[in-house]
Amino acid sequence: MTEYGAALRDRLEREELLVCPGVHDPLTAAVADAVGFDAIYMTGYGTSLSATGYPDAGLITMPEMIDNAANIQERIDVPLIADADNGYGNATNVVRTVREYISAGVGAIHIEDQTFPKRCGHTKGREVIPREEAVGKIEAAADVRDDRAPEFVLIARTDARGTGDGSLEEAIDRANAFLEAGADVAFVEGPTDEAELERIGREVDGPIVYNFVGDLGSSPYVDLADLESWGFGLVVFPIASTLSTIAHVHEDLTAFADDPVGAMRGIDDAFNDRPLGSLHEFSGFPAVLEWERRYLPDADQEKYEGSLGDDLEDD
């Protein structure tokens, strides 16, 4: 059992919509955790782009995704919901995938029914595997959950709506089949308007998640109160940190190209205006000092006497 899975299940049982910002690495996760959320989401697109420099096109591997998830969950104090793509193979591959994510300690994953290689759920050219095969993968994932960590939350995603001849009816039928196969939450990717969202809420027989991608994809901007009224219990904003990082770094470095010293002063001021303390404090140096005091010989503290630099204590 994962403690974060149990916490996430407790949170999902509330009537209030669970809102999760997307993060792409432990740094952006630490920022989200400092702001304060009940759960945080690890984006596959952002993980691929930040770790490899390439888009969400099946170019990142299972170990890279799991390492990122493990490092994020270690850094934050709330459950992480992690993208597990299409399970990285068939049902037998899914068995190992789910075992590894459970070992990483995360609260939940979602697995989709795309073919391999997969691609971002809001790009053209996606394909899905046959429904029977997809159900078998969810059954395999559910069996691993039940055997290894019953509180772990399994989210099953279908991309059937976004295929060349995909219908919303097929996507809803798949979502319900995945719930019957043991998924805890259903995820219909790519609804195109509010009418489709209302129908998903009405016809999917279980908890459902909305993927709020904004201008990147085909799904609409909607009010959270409407999502809640339609029956959605969870909404993720997968590329929030990724777009924010790209936009703000581009803005700052554009200014830096014209005036490095002035731009650096602006970057310093912007950081210092945040309620995060110094960079050393935010990154966790005070905890490292406490570990040194507690576990290292007293003589090791002498290195601080007369040395220069930040004292690394809490501000």
- Residues with catalytic annotation? 41, 56, 83, 85, 110, 112, 120, 157, 189, 211
Do β-strands 108-112 and 80-83 pair in parallel, antiparallel, or remain unpaired?
parallel
Q: How far apart are CA 293 and CA 266, in angstroms?
A: 36
| Six token digits for residue 166 | 């995909």
CB of 201 closer than 8 Å to CB of 230? yes
| Six token digits for residue 34 | 């400092």
Query: Smallest Cα–Cα separation from 82: which of 144, 8, 12?
Result: 8
| Six token digits for residue 35 | 């702001």
Residues whose CB falls within 8 Å of the CB of residue 119, separated by 6 or more in sequence, listed in order: 56, 57, 58, 125, 126
CB of 121 closer than 8 Å to CB of 217? yes
